[in-house]
Amino acid sequence: MMTINATRSGHGACGASLPDKRNAIASLIAGGLCLFALGFVLNVHPARAAGIVDQPKRADFKGERASLDVLQMADWVLDSGNNRNLPFMIVDKKNARAFVFHSGGELRGAAAVLLGAAVGDDSVPGIGERPLSSMLPEERTTPAGRFVAALDRNIHGKDILWVDYAAAISLHPVITGNPKERRAERLATPSSLDNRVSFGCINVPVAFFNNIVTPAFRNTNGVVYVLPETRPLQQVFGELDAIELARLAR
């Protein structure tokens, strides 16, 4: 009877001893687990922590035109999972437009918006506790940042979407009570230069609020990303660094 003793000789087909092969495999597994854990500690996708170049997830704008900042932001939100599988909105202050997305990154709709009359990305501390009549012109800003948003009613019983509750910043249907402000006309013009008029809240067309915003945020929280106008994206959204921006380039 022929005895096959290749395995007993301690060497495999590649010429490495079995203990050496086992050690090598164990090292590879341990290294992979470390990289996987490192990715979660640093809030980085494990594949990226391992140096693997993966294809980023892309938001579907369905042909809607958007600025580069909005494109990059939407792709990053979807690819990183920053929205925690919730519906989300991106407000582009530079171009006075809002984009509402399903949780999976498909665009629901986009529209022009009215913003705070003052240019700036921060709210004055305590501004949400003060009456509107006390707000100075330079304090009427729409703050930039990431906000967990929810539908509610204001003190007058009107539907709103709370964006920054502490600063009393909400998104709501356009208010037309003061004819001198011409808010509806400002929304209708093709230019974004005349869209700065509010005390800080975000005004949107009535149909957009009723048909896009309300269904998106009904019975659920969502995330609103208000993009900065005086600072780079990375300064407001720290995880969106230069490496991520380069990887997400379309």
What does the pLDDT look like over 191-219, one tens digit per residue? Answer: 999 999 999 999 999 999 999 999 999 99
pTM of the model as a whole:
0.79
What does the pLDDT look like over 211-250, one tens digit per residue? Answer: 999 999 999 999 999 999 999 999 999 988 888 889 888 8
Largest alpha-carbon pair distance within the chain? Answer: 105
Give CA separation, 182 vs 91, 118, 169, 178, in Å: 21, 17, 21, 7
Q: What stretch of H or E contains 150?
A: strand 145-153
Average of pLDDT values for 77-85? 97
pLDDT value for 52: 57
For the cut 90, the answer to whether the pLDDT of residue 15 exceeds it is no
Per cent of the chain over pLDDT 90 is: 73
User: What is the three-class DSSP state of 168?
Assistant: coil
Place of tokens 């301690």: 10
User: What is the three-class DSSP state of 203?
Assistant: strand
pLDDT value for 27: 52
For the cut 60, the answer to whether the pLDDT of residue 13 exceeds it is no
